[in-house]
């Protein structure tokens, strides 16, 4: 299950939330629908797409999104400096809100990015 979670890479970027993503060599997954992106910045703030979410109201907001769109896929972008426990807590909150499809967004390693530019 963890392998599936870590297979999503960074083909989509969200403007306005500065997140320094961890690097991985997994290939990007293709998607035909617009996905919801939950971000955790380096200060631990939560964002739903570009909008900051209050931690106390996060599960309720996500639950309402799931009610409106039951098959909604969610991608989690977490700054690489965010403690693992914070990421796991947010993943638990997403599960509690009814999210069944969760992917992790990462970046390709630095040497792979420079090789693609050439």
What b/e string do you get for 8-28 counting C-beta neighbours within 10 Å, with b at 16 or more? Answer: bbbeeebeebebebbbbeeee
CATH number of 2-117: 3.30.420.270
Four-point Cα dihedral 24, 50, 35, 105, nearest 10: 10
- pLDDT (tens, 9 = 90+) of the chain, 118 residues, equals 333 333 443 333 344 455 555 565 555 555 556 778 999 999 999 999 889 999 899 999 999 988 998 888 899 999 989 999 999 999 999 999 998 888 888 777 766 555 555 5
- Residue 45 to residues 1, 30, 92, 108, 113, Cα–Cα distance (Å): 26, 28, 16, 24, 28
Domain boundaries, the chain: 2-117
Name, in order, each residue with C-beta under 8 angstroms of 21's C-beta and a sequence gap of 6 or more.
10, 77, 78, 79, 80, 105, 106, 107
Measured distance CA(73)–CA(117) in Å, rounded: 30
Report the predicted TM-score, pTM, of the whole model to 2 decimal places. 0.65
Output the pLDDT for position 10.
Answer: 35
What are the beta bridge partners of residue 52?
A: 47
């Amino acid at each position: 299950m963890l392998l599936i979670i870590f297979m999503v890479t960074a083909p989509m970027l969200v403007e306005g939330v500065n997140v320094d993503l961890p690097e991985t060599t997994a290939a990007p997954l293709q998607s035909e629908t617009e996905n919801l992106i939950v971000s955790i910045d380096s200060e631990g703030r939560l964002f739903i797409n570009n909008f900051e979410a209050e931690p106390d109201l996060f599960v309720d907001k996500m639950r309402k999104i799931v009610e409106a769109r039951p098959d909604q896929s969610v991608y989690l972008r977490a700054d690489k400096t965010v403690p693992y426990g914070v990421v796991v807590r947010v993943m638990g909150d997403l599960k509690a809100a009814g999210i069944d499809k969760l992917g992790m967004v990462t970046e390709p390693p630095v040497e792979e990015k420079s090789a693609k530019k050439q």
